[in-house]
Amino acid sequence: MPIDPAEQPVLDAVTAGFPAALGALGRLVRIPSIAFPGFPDEPLVTSAEAVAQLLRDTGAFELVEVRRSDYRTEDGSATGSPAVVARRPAAPGRPTVLLYAHHDVQPAGRDELWDTPPFEPTLRGGRLHGRGASDDKAGVITHVAAVTAASHALGDDLGVGIAVFVEGEEEAGSRSFDAFLAEHHSVLEADVIVVADSDNVSTTVPALTSSLRGNVTATLEIATLDHASHSGMFGGAAPDAVLASVRLLDTLWDEDGAVAVAGLESAVPPADGPTGPSDEQLVADAALLPGVRSIGRGSVAERLWYGPSITVTGIDVTDVVNASNTLLPSVRVRVSCRVAPGQDAGEAFAALERHLRAHAPFGAHLAVTDVDLGQPFLVDQSGWAARAARSALADGWGAEPELTGIGGSIPFISTLTERFPTAQILITGIEDPDTRAHSPNESQDLGVLRKAIAAEALLLARLSRRVER
Pick between residue 29 and residue 356 the one whose CB is nearest to Zn ion.
29
Q: Please choose, out of 57-65, 85-93, 129-137, 312-320, the segment that lies near Zn ion by the rule CB under 5 A.
A: 129-137
DSSP 5: G
CB of 411 to Zn ion, least distance (A): 12
- How big is the site for Zn ion, counted in residues (CB under 5 A)? 3
CB of 218 to Zn ion, least distance (A): 23
Pick between residue 142 and residue 343 the one whose CB is nearest to Zn ion.
142
Burial class (CB in 10 A: 0-12, 13-18, 19+), 329: middle
Pick between residue 135 and residue 191 the one whose CB is nearest to Zn ion.
135
**Could you confirm whether 400 is annotated as catalytic?**
no
| Residue 326, helix vs strand vs coil | strand
Q: Which of residues 145-164 bind Zn ion (CB under 5 A)?
A: none
The answer to whether the CB of 237 falls within 8 A of the CB of 300 is no
Q: Please choose, out of 45-53, 88-96, 136-144, 234-242, the segment that lies near Zn ion by the rule CB under 5 A.
A: 136-144
What count of Cα atoms within 13 Å lies in the side-chain half-sphere of residue 44? Answer: 29
| Residue 191, helix vs strand vs coil | coil
CB of 239 to Zn ion, least distance (A): 42
Binding mask of the shown chain, residues 203 to 242, with x at each position contacting Zn ion by CB under 5 A: ----------------------------------------
- For residue 223, the surrounding DSSP H or E stretch is strand 214-223
Q: Which of residues 409-438 bind Zn ion (CB under 5 A)?
A: none
Binding mask of the shown chain, residues 299 to 338, with x at each position contacting Zn ion by CB under 5 A: ----------------------------------------
Residues in the chain: 469
Pick between residue 170 and residue 191 the one whose CB is nearest to Zn ion.
170
Q: Please choose, out of 60-68, 182-190, 195-203, 342-350, the segment that lies near Zn ion by the rule CB under 5 A.
A: 195-203
Report the C-alpha gap between 443 and 130 in whole angstroms.
6
Catalytic residue among 170, 191, 199, 395: 170
Asked if 135 interacts with Zn ion (CB under 5 A), we say yes
CB of 170 to Zn ion, least distance (A): 5
Report the C-alpha gap between 393 and 395 in whole angstroms.
5
Pick between residue 136 and residue 456 the one whose CB is nearest to Zn ion.
136
DSSP 175: T
Pick between residue 136 and residue 240 the one whose CB is nearest to Zn ion.
136
Pick between residue 30 and residue 438 the one whose CB is nearest to Zn ion.
438
Report the C-alpha gap between 455 and 199 in whole angstroms.
15
Query: Phi-psi category of 93—alpha, beta or left, where left has phi over 0 and alpha has psi -120 to 50?
Result: left
Asked if 136 interacts with Zn ion (CB under 5 A), we say yes
Q: Please choose, out of 70-78, 191-199, 217-225, 243-251, the segment that lies near Zn ion by the rule CB under 5 A.
A: 191-199
- For residue 164, the surrounding DSSP H or E stretch is strand 161-167
DSSP 133: T
CB of 408 to Zn ion, least distance (A): 9
DSSP string, 389-436: HHHHHHHHHTS--EEEEESS--THHHHHHHHSTTSEEEEEEEE-TT--
CB of 409 to Zn ion, least distance (A): 11
Nearest to 101 by CA among 440, 431, 443: 431
Report the C-alpha gap between 384 and 408 in whole angstroms.
26
Asked if 197 interacts with Zn ion (CB under 5 A), we say yes
**Could you confirm whether 70 is annotated as catalytic?**
no
Report the C-alpha gap between 390 and 400 in whole angstroms.
8
CB of 197 to Zn ion, least distance (A): 4
Q: Please choose, out of 14-22, 197-205, 380-388, 425-433, the segment that lies near Zn ion by the rule CB under 5 A.
A: 197-205
Nearest to 295 by CA among 355, 237, 232, 252: 252
Q: Which residues are catalytic?
A: 104, 170
Residues that bind Zn ion (CB under 5 A): 135-136, 197
